[in-house]
Amino acid sequence: MTERIGFIGLGAMGKGMASNMQNKGFQLTVFDLDPAPVSVLVQLGATAAASVAELTEASDIVVTMLPGSPEVEVVVLGEGGVLAHGQDGMLLLDMSTVDPLTTDALGEKLGAAGMAVVDAPVGRLAQHANSGESLFMVGASDDDFARVRPLLEAMGTTIHHCGAVGSGMRTKLVNNYLAIVSCQMNAEVLTLLARFGLDLQTTLDVIHGTTATNGQLKINYATKVLTGDIEPGFAIDLAHKDLTLIVNAANQAKVPLPIAAAARESVSLARSTKFHSKDFSALLDHWCERAGVKAPRL
């Protein structure tokens, strides 16, 4: 029997993911507070739900792609939410980036009601969601992983089963710690380069020929800020949110992360400026502006 899929959250990432699922043969019921992306999915053949409750009652698997823990808790655990209207055997596939304790609570509360939970936070950026090339870090039982794998394959190209429920979210935080701190570090390095008056391409050639190189500098900077494109693939606001999740989760686990804490406060400065909604590689432009130097470009 073909499973009925509900998709809640059609933002910058969710709209592309849901569109790929619909275009690849899944029949979706969709819900979002913004009617515009709902209209796009309906034009592709999806069915619009008037509420989370209506969507849940029409679904065997409910997919959520929401901004953070508060939104997930309201949609899943709140009055009129997934827990209140789900049936025995239903599965929640949460792809949001949230506090790991939120994921743990979802697993416990839905599990007690006879429902399953899979956490599958997303790697890569909005353009990858649009092109069906996302990366997923999945926390699930073996059976539940097998159940959601066809959905993930419709939305992405790389799927890692990281362990039990909650392990996907914790893997995402480990990954994003390195990605965001690297982005902040690159911004400082290239601001220093600009102050020194060094040639950008020559210096990049040196860096990329040593162990100083990193993926943010080789991939994200090279295709975003250094070309003059700072429109968000992953916004500074979201980078700050994720660093907060990382620091809080580390505190709960009694793991000191002084570099993450310092990076969060540094990103807080950028978040208070006009750059807050821009791509996190625009940290370079923020720091160059503060230093009074022209931001380097390829």
Instruction: Give Cα separations from 125 to 184, 232, 243, 270 (angstroms).
Output: 18, 9, 17, 20
With CA atoms as reference, report the closest residue to 157 among 179, 129, 118.
129
If you count them, how many residues does the chain have? 298
Query: For this structure, is 172 an active site residue?
Result: yes
Report the distance separating Cα 190 and Cα 204, nearest Å.
10
Query: One of 15, 24, 109, 172 is an active-site residue; which one?
Result: 172
Strand partners, 159: 136
Q: How far apart are the first and last CA of the chain?
A: 54
Residue type, 251: N
Q: What sections of 34-99 are H helices per DSSP? A: 35-44, 52-57, 69-77, 82-85
Q: Which residues, in sequence order, are CB contacts of 69 under 8 Å at separation 6+?
A: 96, 98, 99, 102
Could you tell me if 99 and 248 are in contact, meaning their C-beta atoms sit under 8 angstroms apart? yes
**Phi/psi of residue 290, each to 5°?**
-65, -35
Percent of residues in the chain assigned helix, strand, coil, to nearest 5: 55, 15, 30
* Catalytic site positions: 172
